[in-house]
Amino acid sequence: MLRLLSAASLLALSSGALAQTVVSSQRAAAATSQSSMPTPAYPESRRGDVVDTSFGEKVADPYRWLENDVRTDKEVAAWVEAQNKVTQAALTALPGKAWFKDRIGKLMDYERYGVPQKEGQRYFYSYNPGLLNQPQLFVRDSWNGKGRLLIDPNTWAKDGATALAGYRPSNSGKLMTFEIQDGGTDWRIIKVMDVATGKVMEDELRWAKYGGGVQWLGDEGFFYSRFPATGDKPDFQSLAYNQAIYYHRIGTPQSADIKVFATPEHKEYGHGISVSSDEKWATITSSVGTDARYEVHTIDLAKGSPAKGWQVKKVVSGFDNAWNMIDTVGSTAYFSTNKDAPRYRVVKMDMAAATPTWTTVVAETEQPIDGASIVGDKLVLTYLKDATTRAAVFSLNGKPLKDIALGELGTAGGFGGKPGDSETFYAFTSFTRPSTIYRLDLKSGAQEVFAQPKLTFDPTLFETEQVFYPSKDGTKVPMFIVRKKGQAGPAPTLLYGYGGFDISLTPTFSAGRMAWLEAGGTYVLANLRGGGEYGKAWHDAGRLNNKQNVFDDFAWAGKYLKANAYTSPKGLAIQGGSNGGLLVGAVVNQNPDLINAANASVGVMDMLRFDQWTAGRYWVDDYGYPSKEADWRVLRAYSPYHNIKPGVAYPPVLVTTADTDDRVVPGHSFKYTAALQAADPAGAPHLIRIETRAGHGSGKPTDKIIEEGADVMAFLAYHTGLAMPPSD
């Protein structure tokens, strides 16, 4: 499945007037304690004298020294330790901390399965019985047979911070690569296992990022992508260039790997490879940033070998459109593309032809295609309908056959398979239901449950509605509102957003959000411009010189919620991560009186230097180039770090990051927090929570997820007046 770039034991209150009195008195107490909470004594953040001059304007950067790597700079390490000490003291004292930690832990204590992947006659899937720090990997000999443990990453590190980041079985199911991620880094170590015996082989590959994109060729070897070696240890801050495709033969050292494709004349190009299910064709997709704009090369694998090499043929040039390889049937290759179809269409071509000719199989519709696969002799497509999943089955010539019934508003993912298969598996989730895994027989149309969690709450006690509110310029923006059924009147509200990189936010389950709902809060997800919910036009309307639209969409969502009594005048909290952390920082700066509490997580906060580290150079597709004056002036106008003003009463802000994040380096959050604390030292609390042995988010152990979730929710609850229900 190729995706284009988610009340029996409910802590319910007693019914009637007595319960209402209890809730009212608790909220009154929370509001009283809120007003008397002292501002923490922040650690000193040394101000440097760095001033940059760009396009005739001088811009001070007094906290440039906080960009240095905490692993090697003692002053930065001391600053991190001092900030964490202050933050932990403040968060531990919050009245809701213990309740949220207990409740989130209980809400996460359920069986969680990954979508099975079938290779040969084996079914591979991840599994967590509840509160293991890392999910395990199992295999079955039949889809409904007994599972056998293959890998338990919980034995790899005492702190649980070393994760199984991915796996890829060979087509026969006999061998399997697996990827080790330590401390949340984007770097991966690739190893190989014999599935029958569970023996880990001597093969070990390094210098792969984001998984390496392993693609097997028989059981003899596989293709993967990697960057040049950076010495004895990975480089966690420098820009990564010169990604290349290699072939690794099982049983040989990495030094013997064969370079299959590289572009040394264009070091900034990134490359990935996909091998067809019949292993006759390979497709190399090259990119220059985060946009879905690719060049495509193909390889006829029958006309070459690892020893002799392969001939690479370019079939798409220009980096103008997306071309996502689905699979091949014979020499006919199927792709999804946004060429002449901003919401995507499915096309096919003859890989053996001297000159490719593209033919439309499934035309573009009003609903963007979100994923595509070939299973058996059918195409399975998923669409986005107002940010929820719709799935449909087509013949290979594009004839509509049937829709796949999914039920309530939610998100479905998976639908993997191969030509010749008769079955596929998918997961379905919503805001109030954790993932259930289904098996779908495409011949009979029958669906069966592969795995369904036993819940510790009653999802029927909550309801989800979708509204379309007007943004500043009148654009209608969709927004999901989740709360208890029958809940009337305003309640403390948590508003979440992202708005960027063509990424669509759809309904998914979160234990932290469910705890917020159980406490009587409202959760809201706004589908801001900049995402991919409505295709290319929606994305374009929220990036580059249109980025301010995203901030306006988010602020106007908050205004709508207050104006329509979903939340109280002092009850609006906002939250976002990564690009969403940037969103939170910018909206707090621009609307300090609207926002009552904020959590900016792993955010991109310095928009004038974001392209200086690790993956930052890719983001120019969405943000623009700081080296170009027109882009620089747009970035300067909203950069969170550069637009904090002394004397402004900013709302309470909790910044969360990790000391070893090598996606959005923590210097972004360090500098932003130092500037915020200096600008408003006696105002509302402006704290930073810095996780250790963690990265941008993936691979984080369960105990750290629970602890961080409790800290964040308790902070936001305290500053919006959300009171905790009575304990069991």
- The catalytic site residues sit at 578, 696
- From the list 123, 4, 3, 2, the residue with the least C-alpha distance to 421 is 123
Note whether 676 and 62 are within 8 A (CB).
Answer: no
**Environment class of 7 (CB within 10 Å of its CB; exposed 0-12, middle 13-18, buried 19+):** middle
The CA distance from 494 to 558, in Å, is: 10
Phi and psi for 488 in degrees, rounded to 5?
Answer: -115, 150
Name the β-bridge partners of 374: 379
The CA distance from 714 to 691, in Å, is: 17
Amino acid at 646: P
Note whether 680 and 648 are within 8 A (CB).
Answer: yes
β-pair type (493-496, 572-577)? parallel
Angle at 88 between CA 85 and CA 93, to 5 degrees: 130
| Cα–Cα distance list, 244 to 285, 302, 410, 542, 708 (Å) | 11, 22, 38, 32, 37
Beta-sheet strands, E only, within 134-198 = 136-140, 148-151, 162-169, 175-182, 187-194
**Environment class of 43 (CB within 10 Å of its CB; exposed 0-12, middle 13-18, buried 19+):** middle
In which residue are the tokens 């399975």 written?
380
Which ranges constitute the DSSP H helices of 387-535?
Answer: 511-518
Note whether 714 and 91 are within 8 A (CB).
Answer: yes
In which residue are the tokens 């069966």 written?
448
Note whether 67 and 665 are within 8 A (CB).
Answer: yes
The CA distance from 95 to 704, in Å, is: 20
Helix (H, G, I), strand (E, B) or coil at 101: helix
- From the list 400, 399, 380, the residue with the least C-alpha distance to 442 is 380
Helix (H, G, I), strand (E, B) or coil at 135: coil
User: Per the structure block, which two tokens stand in for 515?
Assistant: 């705890």
User: Per the structure block, which two tokens stand in for 9?
Assistant: 């034991």
* Rounded (10°) angle between helices 511-518 and 97-108: 120
State the distance between the two ends of the chain, measured CA to CA, in whole angstroms. 44
- From the list 270, 291, 346, 321, the residue with the least C-alpha distance to 539 is 291
427: DSSP letter: E
In which residue are the tokens 């209608």 written?
476
Cβ neighbours for 134, distance < 8 A, ≥ 6 positions apart? 128, 153, 154, 156, 160, 162, 163, 164, 699, 701, 702
The CA distance from 595 to 271, in Å, is: 42
User: Per the structure block, which two tokens stand in for 287?
Assistant: 């990119």
The CA distance from 139 to 198, in Å, is: 11
Torsion angle defined by CA atoms of residues 452, 455, 460 and 464, in that order, rounded to the nearest 10 degrees: -80
